[in-house]
Amino acid sequence: MKIMMIDSIIIDRSRLRRWHLDLVSRLSKGRKPVALVLSDGESLPNSIEILLSLERFIYRLPAPRASDRVENALSSGDKIEGQSLDLSIAGIGGPGALRLRYDGLADESALFGALLSGRVPVIEVTNMEGTNRVGYALPSIETAESLTEAYESVAARVSTLILSVPKAVLCRNMPAIVQTTPASPRAAIHYLSRQVAFSALKRLYRLCTRAPHWRVGWRHVTGSGVFDRGDIGGTPWNDLPNPGDRFLADPFPVIWKGETWVFAEDFEHRTQKGIISAVPFGENGPTGSARPVLEMPWHLSYPFIIADGGEIWMIPESSTDRTVRLYRADPFPDRWVEEAILLDSVEASDATVVRHEGRYWMFAVTRDDAGAPSDTLSLFMADKLIGPWRPHPANPVLIDASAARPAGNMVYRDGRLWRPVQDCRNGYGRALGLAEVTHLDDERFSQTVHTILRPGADWPGRRIHTLNRAGTLECIDGSSLSLKTPKLFPHYRDKPMAGLSNLASGSPGVTGMISALIS
């Protein structure tokens, strides 16, 4: 598989930032140094630089930052050799250069214009004319609370894309490009006024509520489930009661030796840490309360369950420990013994394993110490569940906030492999997609998202991000409202987040902002 090699980066001197120098350094690692060629093109609008500086003060953003301007950097000269990546506004790299485009425009002002309007542009690496696409990315800004952080999240994924472009998945299911208006002083002022009001309201929301707060939905279906219907309608969903001031999320139902259990993340607001708990189920619903089955010094979530070799295994998310660990039930369901560290020194979330064509495949979103945690899909393969596991040579195989992060067990339908995926374009866990894996081997990966599922009348709230089924028991999860002073509003305790807007009074704009406060 051919990987793009960059020999020089061209950028306007006035637009050079710390992340550009970091990219040059990373591209140069273990090979001939990449040249940095500085040109004298026009600067970004002053309003952008003023806004970034103001945010550093208002939000007390620690320095140094990837977005910091770099003055007096040394240029490698004007001679451009080999394959160049041209980031200059004028495009001086020549016919063979590669260009970075934001929604089709080769101007970083278009990136800021999209972010100021509350949108993330599609990032493309193309030839100079824009007629041939080399690679694309749709970054997530789910963790960003300012323009500065949103810009840095995008910059992190631009670096990921340039460092490794897997040719096999370049044009698969690429989101539509929306026309972008470059940044302007008016857009910056509008953004700042909106952001100040939103930030104040968000602080109030967090003061009054426990956030994030999730809830698990379950139902018994004898026929068509979500994958068959292509929607979340049909048999009504029931809420699984949350245990006290904790919440359950990431439900994984499993039937083992005639018993049905739902394993889930059990998050305690006081400690801000999750453990894994299990709830016994019968034909009419839960037959007992959630009971802890696995706790570690680090946060645990997404308790992926798999049966293999006559045993039942769990691979919970432990990304804060930078490991992916395999546990065996001994005995099921209350005791889990660690058998192996499948991946080490990697920040991998929501590891999901499937056996496909005689081999084990692990799907997980990875993060290279920067950017959001939900937009970069990496694959790993092994001949045995216990390993050893090796990375796919095209990693990361996908950089796409709409379809990268796993959302539950993969399933076979009519001989075809499908995976539920999280759609984080409008925030973490806002929607769920059903994607068909159209190619999977040790050289290529591709998928096509056929359906997007969003909360609504059938599943009230503003989030949905996990889908699993065992036998007739189908589970999803979603957001809910948990007030720190529930006696003031007893009706709203552990209610879907859609009900939050009913607490608002005043202008529709205030109500809209309150409804958007999902953490």
CA distance 134 to 118: 26
Question: pLDDT tens-digit profile of 408-465?
Answer: 999 999 999 999 999 999 999 999 999 999 999 999 999 999 999 999 999 998 899 9
pLDDT tens digits for 369-421? 899 999 999 999 999 999 999 999 999 999 999 999 999 999 999 999 999 99
State residue 398's pLDDT score.
94
Lowest model confidence (mean pLDDT) among 134-143, 188-197, 246-255, 332-341:
188-197
**pLDDT of 177:** 66
497 has a pLDDT exceeding 70? no
Nearest 5°: CA angle at 392, between 391 and 393? 110
Look up tokens 């945690």; give the residue. 373
If one compares 485 and 116, the residue with the highest pLDDT of the two is 116
Tell me, what's the pLDDT at 492? 54
Rounded mean pLDDT of 73-97?
Answer: 86
Compute the CA torsion angle 231, 234, 236, 240 (nearest 10 deg): -50
pLDDT digits (tens, 9 = 90+) for 281-302: 999 999 999 999 999 999 999 9
Q: Judge contact between 187 and 113, C-beta under 8 A.
A: yes
pLDDT value at position 137?
A: 94
pLDDT at 315 over 90: yes
- Mean per-residue pLDDT, 212-216: 93
What is the predicted pLDDT for the residue at 166?
Answer: 40
- Cα 90 to Cα 43, 74, 106, 125, distances in angstroms: 11, 20, 9, 16
